[in-house]
Copies of this chain bind each other. A is one copy, B any other.
Amino acid sequence: MTTINLNADMGESYGHFRMGNDKEMMKFIKSASIACGFHAGDPTIMGDTVRLAKESGVSVGAHPGFNDLWGFGRREIRMSARDIEYMIAYQIGALSAIATAAGTKVTHVKPHGALSNMAHDDAEYAGAIARAIKSVDRDMIFVAIACSEMVKAGRKEGLRVAEESFCDRTYDDSGKLTSRKYPDALISDPEHAVRQVISFINERALITRTGKKIPTQIHTFCTHGDEPTGPAVAGAVRAALEKNGVGVVPLPELTY
């Protein structure tokens, strides 16, 4: 049976500030990427989110980002590779301790926002992230944007790499997400999202907004809970995958 993973970014509230719709999304996904206190999340939110994932049969990953709460980790920051490496290790460790306290463990790492975008093309950033993961726990799965420098860096370091695509975002012909400046950047129609996911799996490729195919095997599809249509999209994709005989499993149960 073909297997695939569905993941979502979780635990992006902060103190009294609420963000996302974790409880609803947790019903449809199989892996949660949890903010670690730098771009969002605080220790208590992290604890609550880890427990919710555990109860939901959802595997737990770290979602480290830039130290930029104001910008929600979406602003590019120029850092040294050395600082990035320690910053990632720090965040993985923080979540790992909280996962241990909840009786579970961190099994993947997925960079957030501008850090991920910069590391898509920047081999130095990508390498720093891969080395950080390896230095903390070489068994952790590196969830990396499909066809990015992160994929190369992770494999070079001998890590298991899960190539990630999106249920709810379109691609341009460079293989990157369509800029949010364009009206067709976001997919909010559940049926459209289903067609994209099924076609990417069947074609073993990213298919861009112009129809171009960029061959690669996708391991995990991300859905976003901060969009109002997030749960509807996630639920439709999950149902469609199972109807099509695709097993939706936590990241550690995939083969790499």
User: Interface residues, chain A, CB within 8 Å of chain B?
Assistant: 14-19, 37, 42-44, 46-47, 67-72, 74-79, 82-83, 86-87, 89-98, 100-101, 114, 132, 135-137
Contact = CB atoms under 8 A, between A and B. Distances in A.
Contact of A98 (B79, B89, B114): B89
Contacts of A101: 86, 89, 132, 135-136
A114 B90 CA distance: 23
21 contacts: A15-B71, A17-B17, A37-B90, A43-B83, A43-B86, A44-B87, A68-B77, A71-B79, A77-B77, A86-B98, A86-B101, A89-B97, A89-B98, A89-B100, A89-B101, A93-B93, A96-B97, A97-B136, A100-B135, A100-B136, A101-B135
B44 A82 contact: yes
B90 A43 contact: yes
A114 B132 CA distance: 26
Contacts of A17: 14, 17-19, 72
B19 A70 contact: no
B86 A47 contact: yes
A104 to B, nearest CB: 12
A101 to B, nearest CB: 4
Contacts of A94: 90-91, 93-94, 97
Contacts of A87: 43-44
A120 to B, nearest CB: 15
Contact of A75 (B19, B71, B77): B77
A224 to B, nearest CB: 13
A16 B41 CA distance: 13
Given A44-B83, A71-B79, 11 more contacts: A14-B17, A15-B71, A43-B83, A67-B68, A76-B78, A78-B114, A89-B98, A89-B100, A93-B96, A93-B100, A101-B132
B44 A86 contact: yes
A70 B86 CA distance: 13
Contacts of A136: 97, 100-101
A76 B132 CA distance: 22
Contacts of A19: 16-17
A107 to B, nearest CB: 15
Contacts of A15: 69-72
A98 to B, nearest CB: 5
A14 to B, nearest CB: 6
Contacts of A100: 89, 93, 135-137
